[in-house]
Chains A and B, each alone.
Chain A
Amino acid sequence: MGLQDRLSRELVAAWAIAKKDVAIYYLRPGTIVGGVLFPLFMFLAFTAGKLGTAAALIPGLIGITTLFSASSIEPVSIPIERRTATFDRLLAAPISLNALVLGESLSGLLYSVAIALVVFVTALLILMTPIASIFPILVGIFLSSLCFATMGTLFAAYPTESPGDIISMVNVVRFPLIFISGVFIPLATLPSIGQTIAYFSPLTYANDLIQGGYYGKTTFNPLMDVGMLVVFILIFQFVANWLYKRFNE
C-alpha cells in the first residue's frame, strides 16, 4: 500500500468519523451548553463588568468561542461511545490512531469554525466592528479551532464512560486559560508570573492573531503566533495518540 493510498484511506475514514459526530452530537445539550452558552455568558459577564465595549470585546469573544466550542464535542462524544461500545468499532477499523484522533478533532474544528464565524459576521453587521485585515482573523479562527478540538480529543482519551468526568477535567484547563491569555485582560497588565505562564497557553497566540486582524497590531510576530499554534496542534495530536494507545492496553 503506497503512501498516497494510505493517506487517502486515512482521510476518508477521518472524514467519515467527523460526519458521524456532526450528525449525532452537535445538538446535544452538553455540547450546546459547553460550546455556545459558556462563551456567550463569559462575554456578557465581561461586558456587564465594563471591561470594555461589546465591540471592543469581540476579538476576545471569538477567542474563547473557539476554545469552548472546539473542545466541547469529544469530551461528550467519546465517553458516550465508550459506554455504547461504538468507540470499539472505530478502534477496530483499518485506520491508524492518528486518523481516529484527527477524525474526532475534525468535528470539533467544524463546530467551532461555524460558531466563531457566526460571532464574527454578527459583530460585523450589527456592531459594525472595524477590521484591519480579515486574513489573520480567519487563520486565527481555523488554527485555534483545530488546536482546541485536538485538546478536547486528548482529554477524552481518559478511559471513562461519563462525559462529566472529561468536561470537569477540561474546565480545569479552559477557565484559567481565559485569564492568562490576554483575552479580556491585556498581557501587559498581568504580573510577570502571569506573563510567563501566558507563553504556554495556545489561547495567547490565537487571541494575539485575531486581535491583530482587528487592531492591526500584535504582541508577537503573526508568524510566531501561527507557528506556536501549529506546534501546540502537533503536541496535542502526538500526546492524544499516545494516550489512546496507552489506555487501550
Chain B
Amino acid sequence: MQAIEVSHLVKKFGPLTAVNDISFSVAVGETFGFLGPNGAGKTTTIRMLTGISPPTSGKATIFGHDIVRETVAARQSMGIVSETSNVYTDLTGWQNMMLAAQLYRIGRRERDRNATELLKRFELYERRRDRVHGYSKGMMRRLTIAMGLVNSPRLLFLDEPTSGLDVESNLIIRDVIADLIQGGVTVFLTTHNIEEANILCERVAIIDKGLIAAIDAPEQLKKTIQSVQSIEVSFDGSSPTRLDELRQLPMVNEARKEGDKFKLFTEDPAEVIDGVTAYAHTHHTRVLSITTLGPSLEDVFIKLTGLQRSGGGVTAID
C-alpha cells in the first residue's frame, strides 16, 4: 500500500483546467517534493489530496482510503501545514494546540503530552500562555507546524514550511523535518527553496500548467540535463564591466553574478576555464577560486518549466 496514490486526477474551474490528468504515487516513509511555478496547480493538488476540494475526475487515496468517499478516515492519518500560518492569534499557543488536538479527538492526557513535547521541540513552551498575536513570524510558523504534528501523523503535507523565516526558525524546522523523515513519517513537501527539496527529498515532481513535467530522484533529474554545467569563478578586485566581458567568452551560454562570484553556464567547462584564465591574464587580475559545477535541481526546474533566470536566480516559483 502506498501513502499517496494519485490516478488521473483532474480539476477544472469552469473552462480552466487547473490540474490535468496527473498520476503519481508516494511510498510509505518517502519524502516527496512537489515543485512548480505560480499557478502550476500545486495548491489545487494539495487541496484535492487533503479532501478540501473534490476532484473533477480521477482518484486519490491516502493509505488506501479514498479521499472523496472516506475523507474522515484519510484525514485522520495526515497532518497538514498550509502555506499561511493559520493559527488563531486571539488564542494562546497552548489553546491553539488543544484546539488542533480536539479536532482529531485526541484524549486529554495524550494531547497534553503531545502539546508539551511539541512546544518544547519548537522552543515555544515558555511562551505557551501568551496570545499568539504577540509571536514573531517565525514563532507563528513553528506553532503552525507543531499543530500539524499534534496527532502524530503518518503523512505530513508541508506547504512552504520555511519560506521567509529567520535563521533560528529555519534551523529548528529543518531539524524537526529531518527527525520526522528519520522516524519514517511520509512527507509531501512543496517549497520555493529548490535546494531544500534537493537536500530533503528522495523524489521530486515538477508540475507545470497542470501537468507533471517530470518525476524522479533529484540526481536522476540532473542527469537528464548534463549539458547545463557551470563554472563558478571569483577574481581579485572588481570591475563594473566584468559580467559583460565574461559573457563574451567562447562557449559561455549565460553568465550571472552571485555575490563576489560569477557563474558561467556552458556545455564545455574545459574550454571556459581556458577562456577565464586568458581573461584574467589580459585584464591583469588574478583568479581567486574556480569550481566546476554540475546542473542543479534549479537548472532542471528552469529547463522543464521554461522559466527565465532573472538577476540572482529564479523568483517566480510558487
A interface with B by C-beta (< 8 Å): 1, 6, 8-9, 12-13, 15-17, 19-20, 23-24, 84-86, 88-96, 248-249
CA distance A177 to B315 in the complex (A): 54
CA distance A96 to B74 in the complex (A): 12
Q: Does B52 lie within 8 Å of A94, measured CB to CB?
A: no
Knowing A89-B86, A94-B76, say if A13 contacts B52 (CB, 8 Å).
Answer: no
Q: Does A20 lie within 8 Å of B91, measured CB to CB?
A: yes
Contact among A1, A15, A84, A92 for B75, CB-based, below 8 A:
A92
B104 sits at the interface (CB 8 A) = yes
CA distance A24 to B76 in the complex (A): 26
Q: Does B99 lie within 8 Å of A20, measured CB to CB?
A: yes
Knowing A23-B90, A92-B52, A249-B53, say if A85 contacts B82 (CB, 8 Å).
Answer: yes
A-chain residues with CB within 8 Å of residue B90 when the two chains form the complex: 23-24
In this complex, the interface size class of chain B, counting residues with CB under 8 Å from chain A, is: 20 to 34
CA distance A96 to B87 in the complex (A): 21
Bitwise, B42-56 to A at CB < 8 A (1) or not (0) is 000000001111100
Name, among B51, B53, B86, the residue most crowded by chain A CB atoms within 10 Å (CB to CB).
B86
Name, among A6, A13, A20, the residue most crowded by chain B CB atoms within 10 Å (CB to CB).
A20
Q: Does B103 lie within 8 Å of A85, measured CB to CB?
A: no
B84 sits at the interface (CB 8 A) = yes
A-chain residues with CB within 8 Å of residue B72 when the two chains form the complex: 1, 6, 9, 94-96
CA distance A1 to B52 in the complex (A): 21
Question: Sorted from nearest, which 6 A-B pairs have the closest CB atoms?
Answer: A16-B102, A94-B75, A93-B103, A85-B86, A85-B84, A24-B90
B105 sits at the interface (CB 8 A) = yes
| Shortest distance between the CB of A103 and any CB in chain B (Å) | 9
B88 sits at the interface (CB 8 A) = yes
A-chain residues with CB within 8 Å of residue B86 when the two chains form the complex: 84-86, 88-89
A interface: dominant SS: helix
Bitwise, B75-107 to A at CB < 8 A (1) or not (0) is 110001010101111110001001110111100
B-chain residues with CB within 8 Å of residue A15 when the two chains form the complex: 102
Contact among B54, B91, B100, B105 for A8, CB-based, below 8 A:
B105
Q: Does B52 lie within 8 Å of A88, measured CB to CB?
A: yes
Knowing A91-B52, A95-B103, say if A24 contacts B91 (CB, 8 Å).
Answer: yes
B-chain residues with CB within 8 Å of residue A95 when the two chains form the complex: 72, 103
B-chain residues with CB within 8 Å of residue A16 when the two chains form the complex: 98-99, 102-103
Q: Does A86 lie within 8 Å of B52, measured CB to CB?
A: no
CA distance A9 to B102 in the complex (A): 9
| Shortest distance between the CB of B64 and any CB in chain A (Å) | 15
Q: Does B76 lie within 8 Å of A248, measured CB to CB?
A: no
CA distance A95 to B80 in the complex (A): 14
Q: Does A13 lie within 8 Å of B103, measured CB to CB?
A: yes
CA distance A13 to B103 in the complex (A): 5
Q: Does A86 lie within 8 Å of B50, measured CB to CB?
A: no
B-chain residues with CB within 8 Å of residue A12 when the two chains form the complex: 102, 105
A9 — nearest CB in chain B belongs to which residue?
B105
| Shortest distance between the CB of B295 and any CB in chain A (Å) | 36
CA distance A88 to B47 in the complex (A): 10
Besides A9-B105, A23-B90, A85-B84, 15 other CB < 8 A contacts?
A: A6-B72, A15-B102, A17-B103, A20-B88, A23-B95, A89-B82, A90-B103, A91-B52, A92-B75, A92-B80, A93-B75, A94-B71, A95-B72, A95-B103, A248-B53
B73 sits at the interface (CB 8 A) = yes
B-chain residues with CB within 8 Å of residue A94 when the two chains form the complex: 71-73, 75-76, 103-104
Knowing A23-B95, A86-B87, say if A92 contacts B51 (CB, 8 Å).
Answer: yes
